[in-house]
Structure 1
């Protein structure tokens, strides 16, 4: 199991995804890192793919956190 990333590392991974310069293998690794570190990683990915806004990695992380509603 991979280690959980720090907030700064998560922002770095989101920036990597936003740059769209990685190989398919690198992108798969980045998504795996997010899935291990962030319970709402799917929301992060959804925002990246569907947002019409010009958001920074920090904006995306915060927006995903706000949209996340854990199951109780």
Structure 2
């Protein structure tokens, strides 16, 4: 199973830049870049997740996608 992190997609859809989101959240743009460029769920706290959802007007389920392993879904 893979938990896919979709922050990059959400930001692109909203045309939100790293700098703009960083300014809204009160963090350095490099911090946004680090978590945005990960494909799997980064280790972030609830407060950070809450703040991302607030400024991107989304829910945690918009940012996180479960992708099941194909091997598990296939019958032998």
Tell me the TM-score normalised to structure 2 length: 0.29
**Structure with greater contact order relative to length (CA < 8 Å, sep ≥ 6):** 2
Which one has a bigger Cα radius of gyration?
A: 2
Q: Is the strand fraction higher in 1 or 2?
A: 2
TM-score by length of 1: 0.30
Q: Which has the higher helix share?
A: 1
